Homo-oligomer: A and B are copies of this chain.
Amino acid sequence: MTESDTAPPTPPRRRRRKEARPGEIIDAGLAEFAENGFAATRLEDVARRAGIAKGTIYRYFASKEDLFEAALSSRLTPFFDDVTGMVDAFPGSTEDLVRAMLPRIYAALFEGGLHVMMRIIITEGGRFPAIAELYHRCVIARGREMISALVARGVRRGEVRESALTDLPMVIVAPAVMTIVWKMTFDRFDPVETERFLAAHVDLVLHGLLAKGPGPAVE
């Protein structure tokens, strides 16, 4: 009240923010799509979540599907860039590398927002081949290269045995995928403790990969 001369007491209901809108709409859209899936999401709800009117969405996106694709494309985070570098540059043993890398992947998934993306890809990927393909090219394929690099490096150093795993390294991250699926479906009545799950994952991978077995677990 005392400062009603500097700031307008009633800020305008409408605001023109051409730059900020698309990003806000995408944020709201991702949240709704992750929660309800593509078909069951109402643009009315997306608009409400973004604090705008439904019509405004159509100033920036031609259709619901267009928004969906734009939203997913905008989040192809270059998460794996530095992790790939990490594999090559890593000074220590394969065991140490695994013990460093899996927690990082879990953190990106469950503390960062990546699992929201994964959830959408898993539930809708089958019905949006273009998006699945994009995601495959930008994230999955690079993740696989990273794991391949890890295995190859281990074999080179004589720490990792040759096996069926050598040419199918994706199997190594399967427990993380399972965790995502579990959280999507069963978590509310049978919750997963991510840390314990991660520990079991590390344990399985180390014993499964290493030629001589890992050292004692680090606490």
Contact = CB atoms under 8 A, between A and B. Distances in A.
Interface residues of A, number: 53
Identical subunits present:
2
Nearest to A213: B213
Contacts of A167: 196
B203 A163 contact: yes
Contact of A203 (B170, B200, B208): B208
A76 interface: no
B37 A184 contact: no
Nearest to A190: B136
A140 B190 CA distance: 11
A203 B165 contact: yes
A207 interface: yes
Contacts of A164: 196, 199-200, 202-203, 217
B196 A168 contact: yes
Interface of A: 35-40, 119, 121-123, 125-127, 129, 132-133, 136, 140, 161, 163-165, 167-168, 170-175, 177-178, 181-182, 184-186, 188-190, 196-197, 199-205, 207-209, 217
Given A177-B177, A207-B208, 9 more contacts: A37-B127, A126-B185, A136-B189, A161-B207, A164-B199, A174-B177, A174-B178, A177-B181, A207-B207
